[in-house]
């Protein structure tokens, strides 16, 4: 089954929640874990165990593992493998973006079946031009993997690029949305190429004339909960495309650790809250 279909099924069964696996040093300490590769592996495995059957997906953030070098990457490999064993969908937050053979290398590293760091979907940056993503798009299409393309991010600096008007008169973010949508034409129940759109971008979607409704793919939405976005913000940003939204939460649920049962309860509560917010 392709990624889009798997994710749609998981969202129907468990609610529209993706749990971030973000092992900040302070959070590891709060969990009673050392800031070591072993601590990261234990943290990630606990989140995976708690998310299994309670969330649609998990999203390990590669940066927190890579800061520990080769052993940290090995810990990430371990967490991804545990998620496959528990049949939990993984979205690796690595935001890779390059050109030619380098982008092909990134695609091989994360999207090729059997690769040590294989994930179900990968976040990618299109700001070397959407066409630069072709190696990842091709490999994802070949193997039924997913991509989440950065479109509208919540950091203030992002607007200087994403809100800019290109030489053809089209807003840059709108071009990224249009290009992603073209990859999903005819897919059922939704396509494999999604977007990252911050839930805190306010009126940017409507102000810039961006049509999310035609995406026919998932929208990963950080910023809900601890970062301030609720039902009103979700309605403003996503409008009639809310059915496509996968809410990402990290701090709001991870603070319930380190015990898996309590963490599972927090995940289930957050999944229910996300479902309610998106219906509002």
Catalytic machinery residues? 95
* 270 CB-contact burial (10 Å; exposed 0-12 / middle 13-18 / buried 19+): buried
Q: How far apart are CA 204 and CA 68, in angstroms?
A: 37
Residue found by looking up tokens 């890579």 in the block: 66
Token pair in block for residue 63: 């940066």
- 40: closest CA among 54, 55, 29, 53? 29
Which segments of the chain does DSSP mark as H helices, in order? 3-14, 25-30, 37-51, 62-66, 69-85, 100-111, 134-143, 159-162, 172-182, 204-207, 231-238, 251-254, 260-279
Nearest to 278 by CA among 89, 37, 80, 15: 15
Query: Do residues 130 and 170 touch, judged by C-beta distance below 8 A?
Result: no
Q: Which two tokens stand for residue 15?
A: 């609610």
Hunting for tokens 């509208």 — which residue is that? Answer: 152
Report the distance separating Cα 115 and Cα 77, nearest Å.
Answer: 9
CB 239 within 8 A of CB 280: no
From residue 188, give the alpha-carbon distance in Å to each of 138, 178, 181, 191, 244: 19, 18, 13, 7, 13
Nearest Cα to 63, choosing from 21, 31, 29, 28? 21
């Amino acid at each position: 089954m392709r990624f889009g279909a798997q994710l749609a099924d998981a969202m129907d069964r468990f609610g529209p929640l993706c749990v971030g696996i973000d092992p900040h040093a302070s959070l590891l300490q709060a969990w009673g874990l050392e800031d070591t590769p072993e601590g990261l592996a234990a943290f990630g495995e606990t989140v995976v165990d708690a998310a299994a059957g309670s969330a649609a997906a998990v999203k390990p953030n590669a940066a927190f593992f890579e800061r520990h070098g080769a052993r940290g990457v090995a810990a990430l490999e371990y967490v991804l493998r545990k998620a496959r064993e528990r049949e939990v969908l993984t979205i690796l937050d690595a935001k890779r973006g390059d050109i030619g053979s380098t982008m092909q290398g990134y695609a091989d590293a994360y999207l090729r079946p059997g690769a040590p760091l294989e994930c179900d979907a990968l976040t990618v940056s299109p700001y070397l031009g959407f066409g630069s993503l072709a190696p990842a798009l091709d490999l994802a299409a070949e193997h039924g993997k997913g991509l989440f393309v950065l479109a509208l991010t919540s950091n203030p600096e992002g607007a200087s690029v994403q809100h800019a008007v290109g030489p053809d008169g089209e807003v840059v973010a709108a071009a990224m949305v249009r290009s992603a949508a073209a990859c999903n034409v005819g897919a059922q129940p939704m396509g494999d190429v999604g977007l990252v759109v911050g839930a805190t971008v306010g009126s940017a979607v409507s102000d810039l004339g961006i049509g999310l409704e035609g995406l026919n793919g998932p929208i990963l939405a950080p910023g809900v909960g601890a970062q301030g976005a609720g039902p009103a913000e979700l309605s403003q940003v996503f409008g009639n495309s809310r059915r496509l939204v996968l809410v990402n939460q990290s701090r709001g649920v991870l603070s319930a650790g380190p015990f898996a049962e309590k963490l599972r309860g927090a995940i289930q509560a957050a999944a229910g809250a996300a479902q309610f917010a998106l219906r509002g």
